[in-house]
Chain A
């Protein structure tokens, strides 16, 4: 079975600073990979996804993620964080062929200081 590790429970960055959120997965092959964001009391919004192809994926709100097969990682990055980016971020994997069954990491809470 697949699993996802987000090693950072909580990260604080200053507005305008760069951001990298870590995600490592465990799966026998290359899974489908996702990053979702959740604001307090809200559902999950998809930021970006990787199925195959180019390992650098662009998403919404200026986010990008890079798939590194050798490191089993799919880290999320943003060059300049805005105060509105404060939220909880979830990395998720899906085993190909198991449609609509996501396995989530424990999440990283991002705090942005002004």
Chain B
């Protein structure tokens, strides 16, 4: 099985721009979760999509949004980028069952200048 893929792996943007990150889970997995990892705040849950619907949401401003497609691929969008949005963004796929395990991708490193 191919693993979780995230594109792009690295991204440099400037303040005020917007960015879209992509995540493809393992084949057959219908849930995709997104996490932000920073040195100051650690790993924080952004949101989770299951069967194209947002099922869980963390405490992030509305500038952070996402969506999921019928093939389970998910995109995360951040609008009006701020310096503090610089982070490693990780996505994780899972079957969506309540006792399943999340499998993480390698992450997208976003730098905001």
Q: Is the CB of A101 within 8 A of B90?
A: no
Among candidates A99, A105, A107, residue contacting B97 with C-beta atoms closer than 8 Å: A99
Which B residues from 91 to 113 make CB contacts under 8 A with A? 92, 94, 96-107
Q: What is the number of residues of chain B that contact chain A, defined by CB distance less than 8 Å?
A: 28
Tell me if B99 and A90 are in contact (CB < 8 A). Answer: no
* Least Cβ–Cβ distance between B52 and chain A, in angstroms: 15
**A92 to B104 Cα, complex, angstroms:** 14
A42 close to B48 (CB less than 8 A): no
A32 at the interface (CB under 8 A from B): yes
Task: Give the nearest-CB partner of B57 in chain A.
Answer: A101
A17 contacts partner chain B, Cβ-Cβ < 8 Å: no
Q: Check A26 for interface membership: any CB of B closer than 8 A.
A: no
A45 at the interface (CB under 8 A from B): yes
Q: CB-nearest residue of chain A relative to B102?
A: A100
| Residues of A in contact, count (CB < 8 Å) | 25
Q: Which residue of B lies closest to A99 (CB)?
A: B98
Interface residues in A9-57 by Cβ distance below 8 A to B read 32, 34, 36, 41-46, 49, 51
Pick from A42, A96, A101 the residue with the most CB of B within 10 Å. A101
Given A44-B90, A107-B42: A102 and B4 interface contact (C-beta under 8 Å)? no
- How many angstroms from the CA of A34 to the CA of B102 in the assembled complex? 10
Report B14-43 residues with CB < 8 Å from chain A CB: 31, 33, 35, 42-43
Interface residues of B (CB under 8 A from A): 4, 31, 33, 35, 42-45, 48, 50, 55-56, 58, 90, 92, 94, 96-107
Residues on A lying within 8 angstroms of B by beta carbon are: 32, 34, 36, 41-46, 49, 51, 90, 92, 96-107
